Amino acid sequence: MAEIQSYTMNFGPQHPAAHGVLRLVLEIEGETIQKADPHVGLLHRATEKLAETKPFNQSIGYMDRLDYVSMMCNEHGYVMAIEKLLGIEVPTRAQYIRVMFDEITRILNHLMWLGAHGLDIGAMTMFLYCFREREDLMDCYEAVSGTRMHATYYRPGGVYRDLPDSMPKYAESKYRSKKVLDRMNSVREGSMLDFIEDFTNRFPACVDEYETLLTDNRIWKQRTVNIAVVSPERAMQLGFTGPMLRGSGVEWDLRKKQPYDVYDRVDFDIPVGVNGDCYDRYLVRVEEMRQSNRIIRQCVDWLRDNPGPVMAEDHKITPPTRVEMKDDMESLIHHFKLFTEGYCVPEGEAYAAIEHPKGEFGVYIVSDGANKPYRVKIRAPGFAHLSAMPEMVEGHMLADVVAVIGTQDIVFGEVDR
Amino acid sequence: MTDRIDTLVSKIDARFGEKMNRVASTCRELTYELDKDDLIKVATALRNEADFGFEMLIDVCGVDYLSYGSDEWVTNSASGTGFSRGVERKPVILDEADEFDPRRFAVVYHLLSIQNNVRLRLRVFTGTANPPIVKSVVDIWNGANWFEREAFDLYGILFDGHPDLRRILTDYGFIGHPFRKDFPVMGNVEVSYDSDDGRVVYKPVSIEPRTLVPRVIRDDNRYSADLKDVKDG
């Protein structure tokens, strides 16, 4: 019988299951992974260096493009670091809007993850189901900021504008009958908050639907149970955060432990796994979607009852309104200075961390008192997770590599920065 | 949070004394500077001793302090011909010197204690050596591996004892350390396809550096400490 020798295999960088541009060099014996060496950096854009060359506000848009499936959460980390340095207060309404959109983003991210993870390990339908719900949330992004993905909605001092009074509607077309059109537009008749409320009513049933497809599915469990088990000690040692850490049974969530904005005023639970395998991390994330839904609902109720400003009044940092600018000299000067030079941030350093859908997303800013940051360091959760990949796949089969990439919820925008 | 920080400060003072110097910090965060020779001892103690319990290393990053506090736009006098952008290009300082300013390169560690729910920042300056070098903390926190590779790639800081110090983010065969302040934003080389040779060729960059918004530092007394309400948070 011929002797089977171990050999080296290249995986990616253009591989549909690599969730972007991941190149893996795998040493394989038969079908068992002996060693994995991920090569990253194929999407490196030097975001941090670019941010050093621009006034603070001009880099918010770059943050959207880091983890491009949870855009507003990235912005949140960045503007929080600036706010910490400036020492400015954000109006409560803006804080609620941020929390609401953070959770909408979490659902967006987890839906993308569930769809892609499902598709990778053989559950085609998930992808279609998840994208159906994502569409509604994308519409919320579009209604509030004008773009479906790269919103640039959060600003130091609040959010760019208040929630809109109406939702955009589907237009008539020859492909849709009047009846279908009316049904599609029926939830869009009211304000944006009505639309989101309707979503929160519908969404738990959608999550139930996903769970009927996967949670007790024999194939799904075969592919995920006992795959890539990480003990809580190892998870902490390797710098895991977010669902990866909670899946291993460590109860740690920045929204509870170091609450920012109004997370201490909303009621939600933290799901924690037991075994630390892919299946537990799946359960944690699915439960997180339900909890996010709860938070969104509470924010909607609060936002309905409490109108108010959504941006700090300090016009040295936040722009005045167009109307003010047109008939007030001081506002005109503020506007001019802000949009040509930006604002200077006091000397110092700050690290702001948020509970990003993928883990702890931190932004460390060193300022020397200029209108541009001296150094921005983005601590991306996916970077730490991917660095643990060789350890997680060792001894598993080649097909499990895909399950591990899926369970880590890797997005290369943030890993490579 | 305030209590936790205060207890940690007193514990650190009692345990390490002179080894760790607290940096007057903004934003209610704890920052300590320490000598690079003490790093391993201090880091091991911070991780293993129950008083500190920093079981997680959140982040390691390099910082280049070369142009700290310098601005590009000097507006002392208005000219008779109008007001143009006075951005003066500083000559590029090559890093071929044998010695660096001892406070040029720093490695910043962000630690997190899950049991005590407190964060800590350590800063270690690399000293005058070229190339800059510090001890690796991979053995203490295994998660440091890629973060140190990143700092090496972007800043050229060596980590003594790192098991696999390779470039991580830049291209295969990349020359230089792109996040150093003396590395131009548009890089040194550009690539194009040479149809005669039938291959991709590297050439020196053909574009000029430009500044859209000059870097300015304004003295702003709104931020001076005695005029500000100090709040806990």
Could B213 and A54 be called an inter-chain contact, meaning their C-beta atoms sit closer than 8 Å? yes
Of the listed ranges A296-300, B17-21, B201-205, the one predicted with least confidence = B17-21
Could A364 and B114 be called an inter-chain contact, meaning their C-beta atoms sit closer than 8 Å? no
Instruction: Flag whether residue A25 sits within 8 Å of chain B, measured between CB atoms.
Output: no
Nearest to A370 among B71, B110, B150 (CB): B71
Instruction: Flag whether residue B145 sits within 8 Å of chain A, measured between CB atoms.
Output: yes
For A121-130, what is each residue's pLDDT tens digit?
888 888 899 9
For B85-119, what is each residue's pLDDT tens digit?
555 555 555 556 677 888 889 999 999 998 888 89
Instruction: Flag whether residue B117 sits within 8 Å of chain A, measured between CB atoms.
Output: yes
Q: CB contacts < 8 Å between A and B, how many?
A: 134
Torsion angles phi and psi, residue A248, rounded to 5: -85, 0
At residue B81, the pLDDT reads: 54
Could B216 and A379 be called an inter-chain contact, meaning their C-beta atoms sit closer than 8 Å? no
Minimal Cα–Cα distance from B155 to chain A, Å? Answer: 12
Residue B72 has pLDDT above 90, yes or no: no
Q: Among B164, B169, B232, which would you mutate to test the A interface (most chain A Cβ atoms within 10 Å of its Cβ)?
A: B169
Q: What is the mean pLDDT of chain B?
A: 81
Minimal Cα–Cα distance from B171 to chain A, Å? Answer: 7
Minimal Cα–Cα distance from B189 to chain A, Å? Answer: 15
Closest CA to B36 of B110, B112, B136, B120: B136
Which pair of tokens denotes residue A224?
Answer: 């995920």
Instruction: Flag whether residue B25 sits within 8 Å of chain A, measured between CB atoms.
Output: yes
Could B117 and A258 be called an inter-chain contact, meaning their C-beta atoms sit closer than 8 Å? yes
Could A87 and B146 be called an inter-chain contact, meaning their C-beta atoms sit closer than 8 Å? no
Residue B4 has pLDDT above 90, yes or no: no
Q: How confident is the model at residue B216 (pLDDT cuts 50, 70, 90)?
A: confident
At residue A106, the pLDDT reads: 93
- Give this complex's ipTM: 0.87
Q: Which of residues 312-351 of A touch B (CB under 8 A)?
A: 316, 340-342, 344, 346-351
